[in-house]
Structure 1
Amino acid sequence: MMALRAAVAFVLGASSIVRPAHAQDADELAKQLSNPVANLISVPLQFNYDDGIGPADDGSKALLNVQPVIPVSISEKWNLISRTIIPIAYQDDIFPGAGSQFGSGDILQSLFFSPKAPTSSGWVWGVGPVLNLPTASNDLLGANQWGAGPTAVVLKQTHAGWTFGTLVNHVWSFGGGDNRADISNTFLQPFVSKGLGEGRTVTVNLESTYDWKSEQWTVPINFGYSKVSKIGKQLVSYQGGVRYYLEAPDSGAEWGLRFAFTLLFPEH
């Protein structure tokens, strides 16, 4: 709970010193943030809190994902977008006798090759590889397995401010600790968002994962609200939201919270 209170204080403190961005610029940045393969450098700091973990529902987990997104122009018509997830976690009583753990988790690195221009019908897409790097500082914070597979995203954005699409990847393990279970996980994230003007956006998504080894779905539904603003000259976005687990293992979480603070570096 200390981590949860600290995150709330951070978000409230940040919102007290931000200034509105120019409405048109803010709306354009909000639209780009809804596109996982947009030509926008951003550094999201995403805090997640899950509760109700373990057979007695008394475990919890606080997770800070540092998620830099870096697009690189590789030709006249193509971008390469690097999306990295660097997790830092604190968890407590996730199963009886587990105690608490704090440290880094496994890094997930995705690369998308994406056309700079949408298709004639307005669709945006990207495909590429995804890598799981066994960087966890504790056995209970990661899989201790090297993993790789394909990833893809497809989406469409309308003049009315809607964005809808799906991001998917699949990771198979190909090396790592012999005493750890192999990985074969499919991640499926359908998402929809609506721009409300003045840099504001509401979002709904499902961050669904299917573990083919245990034949188990984990399906949280996330509801979020975000706004683009400025701190001094720095463009930022801040977000708050809740989630409920529609499907989870017996010892999985029941509900959670999400707060995000994103540094934005648009091209000029």
Structure 2
Amino acid sequence: MYRNFAAFFVVALFSAPLWADADLAKKLSNPVADLISVPFQNNWDNRVGPTEGGRRYTLNIQPVIPIGLNEKWNLISRTILPVMSQEEIFPGSGDQTGLGDTVQSLFFSPKETTAGGVTWGVGPVFLLPTGTEPLLGTEKWGAGPTGVVLKQSGPWTIGALANHIWSFAGKDSRTDVDSTFVQPFLAYNTPNSWTFTLQTESTYDWEAEQWNVPVHFLVAKVFTVGKQTYQIQAGPRYYAESPDTGAQDWGFRLNWVMLFPKSK
């Protein structure tokens, strides 16, 4: 199934009539750009769990919707809804398929960059217990602050996104959520709308005192088929550090993004 899925996107990318938009590619390197996008981010991990015998597939549905508040400010809504399938993440755990917990971020971001060319946004982040099985979610409600700062200069984008979530309600029998997420990123955009990105998506669990540090190298291309614009992105990730219950060594990401740019 996964092989057919990947083959479909390769055929779509290299055989369909395409045109490039370097400006859209650069906007996609900015998490708070004024651009509606709907990524379908596919992640494959092996060697999951304390015995390294598990496997996990996660499809993150991640709509990004900018809302103009006034002439100076945007509100950027970023949602992450995971659809997960995993097996034997620890001995005797069996298989689980369903929804994970939703993370909803809201960034208040100026429409114009600072005098130094810096783009930023701050706001709240929420953890919603949408997990359909106990092993797919925390069964906790959570909230905290989030922020992003970046600078785009020529073909380069450098920046970082971070948040911290504390749980405040949910099942008493479940472990409290107290986690910090940090995502530094560096991207290079070419004139023909290719993007090369190096980033980490690091999480520190203050309850367990453990890091999870996947490092990604991703290659992306913006293209249009008919009237619809897309980006396809793919690349490996390496777990520089992970908890005993996490994935080990190498994984892979394939991201399919639908773009809805404003009419020119």
For the superposition of Structure 1 and Structure 2, which TM-score range results when normalised by the shorter chain? over 0.9
Question: Which amino acid in 1 is paired with 2:156?
Answer: W
In the superposition, relative to structure 1, how do residues 186 and 5 fare at CA in structure 2: closer, same or farther (>3 Å)? same
> For residue 59 of structure 1, what is the aligned residue in structure 2?
54
Give the number of aligned pairs. Answer: 262
- 2: CA distance, partners of 1:158 / 1:18: 32
SS in 1 for 2:190: strand
> For residue 34 of structure 1, what is the aligned residue in structure 2?
29
- 2: CA distance, partners of 1:200 / 1:67: 21
> For residue 21 of structure 1, what is the aligned residue in structure 2?
19
Q: Does 1:266 align with 2:261?
A: yes
Displacement of 1:58 in angstroms is 1.8
Displacement of 1:250 in angstroms is 2.4
Displacement of 1:6 in angstroms is 4.3
> For residue 152 of structure 2, what is the aligned residue in structure 1?
157
The structure 2 residue matched to 1:236, chosen from 226, 230, 237, is 230
Q: Does 1:227 align with 2:225?
A: no
Displacement of 1:249 in angstroms is 1.1
User: CA-atom RMSD, angstroms?
Assistant: 1.1
Task: Encode CA deviations 1:233-265: one digit per residue, 9 max, x unaligned.
Answer: 100000111000000112321221000110101
Contact kept? 1:21, 1:235, Cα under 8 Å: no
- 1: CA distance, partners of 2:234 / 2:15: 17
Contact kept? 1:110, 1:129, Cα under 8 Å: yes
The structure 2 residue matched to 1:44, chosen from 26, 39, 42, is 39
Question: Which amino acid in 2 is paired with 1:214?
Answer: A
Question: Which amino acid in 1 is paired with 2:252?
Answer: L
> For residue 175 of structure 2, what is the aligned residue in structure 1?
181
Structure 1: any 5+ residue segments left out of the alignment?
Answer: none
Question: Which amino acid in 2 is paired with 1:18?
Answer: A
Task: Encode CA deviations 1:184-235: one digit per residue, 9 max, x unaligned.
Answer: 0000000000012211000000100000000000001001000000121100
> For residue 209 of structure 2, what is the aligned residue in structure 1?
215
Q: Does 1:203 align with 2:197?
A: yes
- 2: CA distance, partners of 1:235 / 1:94: 37
SS in 2 for 1:197: coil
The structure 2 residue matched to 1:166, chosen from 142, 153, 160, is 160
Question: Which amino acid in 2 is paired with 1:202?
Answer: F
Q: Does 1:113 align with 2:100?
A: no
Q: TM-score, normalised by structure 2?
A: 0.96
